Chains A and B, each alone.
Chain A
Amino acid sequence: MTTVSNLQRVLTKGHFAVTGEIGPPQSADASVITRKAAYLKGNVDAVNITDCQTAVVRMSSISVGKMLIDLGIEPVIQMTCRDRNRIAIQSDLLGAWALGARNLLCLTGDHQSFGNHPTAKNVFDLDSIQLLDMVRRMRDDKVFMCGEEIKGTEPRFFIGAASNPFADPFDFRPLRLAKKVKAGAQFIQTQLIYNVPKFSEFMRRVCDLGLHEKVYILGGVGPIKSAGAARYMATKVPGMDVPAEVVDRMVKTPKERAREEGIQICVEIIQQLREIPGVAGVHVMAIEWEEAVPEILTQAGLLPRPVIPPEITTAEQ
């Protein structure tokens, strides 16, 4: 399999990878992307573009991905199953590849009841595991899901998936990750990690299954802006685990120092994750606070990012 993306090269060369994330605007304003991208350019190996996160209508992930490519930033296109059937997804993937996208993150997607169109008809034709399998077959078998051959250029994505170690049932989470790996996932980005001991236990089970040798696992991290934000994440966001110590720490911090403390907690978590066997990198989710990313990565000692020319890895294979 040809190595095509920068993210893939960084991981295969054994570097501790760093990915960032941009939430596209709820408008057609391209300048929002330029502004957010400036904080991430050169500081991360690739940047995820969310696909109408929390089911709120936003600029399309693929179009923002193309803007990033033009700005010299490698995107990770997020693709959810919520809004498109298998026909639309495959069509979009052909287009994304043609525009230069090389990384794809396959997701189920948040239910539309969370977003700004709760009365929408959802799709969920496929689930994330079936999506992974479809993308892998398009690349490796050069076929559409129906089995018909892709005549011409096939999309050859570096394929990713998400994993939430903190959702229930906990015992099934490593097994579900195994299903994703079997379906074709080459890298995993996890839900935001604040409960490091629980994540360590998850990783222990993942390593026992030998999954860390088959897939690159990037731990999800993100800075907390305020005590209110900590409380909100701890109580209101499904599938999130923010321990009381983290909330307390934010609550006890004077307001004017809150952002600094939030960044400090994030840096500490990154350092702890680096010690956990099987963790191949971090995925920094600082949506609507992209300016915090350079500081987090500087403090965590993850800058500068490695520069690996494409030909080296390709030649090695």
Chain B
Amino acid sequence: MIVGEQKPLQEIKDMIAGAEKVLLLGCGTCVTICFAGGEKEVGILASALRLATRLDGKEVDIREATVQRQCEWEYVDEVADQIQEADIVVSLACGIGVQTVAERFPDVWVVPGLNTSFLGQPVEQGVWSERCAACGNCLLMYTGGICPIARCSKSLLNGPCGGSQNGKCEINPEVDCAWQLIYDRLSRLGRLDLITENMPAKDWSTSRDGGPRKIVREDLRI
């Protein structure tokens, strides 16, 4: 899932400064699951902003709406009137949601209420962890299902660097060394042979390095 985190209240307040009608637009998918931008979070943020702007002596009309998926035009169209009435739309979706609204409503000022963090997994209640870098060329078959591109701080492909200690990464003792995880899992599966071979340099052209990516499935086009 796409994991996001709400921007600090002050930053959101600064973005809406001067606006009289503000629409907080939530998204009912990924960011709802990670408690960053669903209906409930829209409500909490709206209350906080109302309070904060009132304390500043300003009267701001803060409205709320949440669509099922902000990344698709047909869903944002459901609240088209509310979007068009607002001076500013604070999108509580991932960056795709912000851009979908901006693209669909060219005359509306849209700002991000969240920071889109990463593609991750909810590992336990209240904890999300990065799992995929969307590099466009999956190598998990060589690494026991643990991604060194996303989870090794240096995206190494040939084993742990010299900073790996006690199973943790050199950058932070809280961060697991992805290569220790890979080593342990392949040991358990009796497949260490997979990482004793030299892995060639990665083709990054399928990643962002190849420019903005696009998939076209002719068989699905109408």
Contact = CB atoms under 8 A, between A and B. Distances in A.
B165 A179 contact: no
A239 B159 contact: no
Interface in B22-40: none
Contacts of A238: 163-165, 170
A159 B114 CA distance: 48
Contacts of A111: 153-154, 163, 170-171
B97 to A, nearest CB: 25
Contacts of B164: 167-169, 238-239
Contact of A108 (B161, B165, B167, B199): B161
B180 interface: yes
A143 interface: no
A130 B183 CA distance: 19
Contacts of B147: none
B132 to A, nearest CB: 17
A40 B161 CA distance: 29
Interface in B153-200: 153-167, 170-172, 177, 180, 183-184, 192, 195-196, 198-200
Nearest to B156: A127
A124 B165 contact: no
A133 B157 CA distance: 13
Given A111-B154, A129-B158, A238-B165, A172 B198 contact: no
Interface residues of A, number: 36
B154 A124 contact: yes
Contact of A176 (B159, B163, B200): B159
Contact of B171 (A113, A176, A191): A113
A133 B200 contact: yes
Nearest to A129: B158
A164 B201 contact: no
B162 A130 contact: no
A134 B201 contact: yes
A178 interface: yes
A285 to B, nearest CB: 13
Nearest to A190: B162
A130 B204 CA distance: 14
A169 B171 CA distance: 17
Interface string B197-219: 01111101000000000000000
A258 interface: no
Interface of A: 81-82, 86, 108-111, 113-114, 122, 124-130, 133-134, 145, 162-164, 167-169, 172, 175-176, 178-179, 182-183, 191, 238-239
Interface of B: 153-167, 170-172, 177, 180, 183-184, 192, 195-196, 198-202, 204
27 contacts: A110-B163, A110-B170, A111-B154, A111-B171, A113-B171, A114-B171, A122-B154, A124-B154, A125-B201, A125-B204, A127-B154, A128-B158, A129-B199, A130-B201, A167-B165, A168-B166, A168-B167, A168-B180, A169-B160, A169-B164, A172-B159, A175-B195, A179-B159, A182-B198, A239-B162, A239-B163, A239-B164
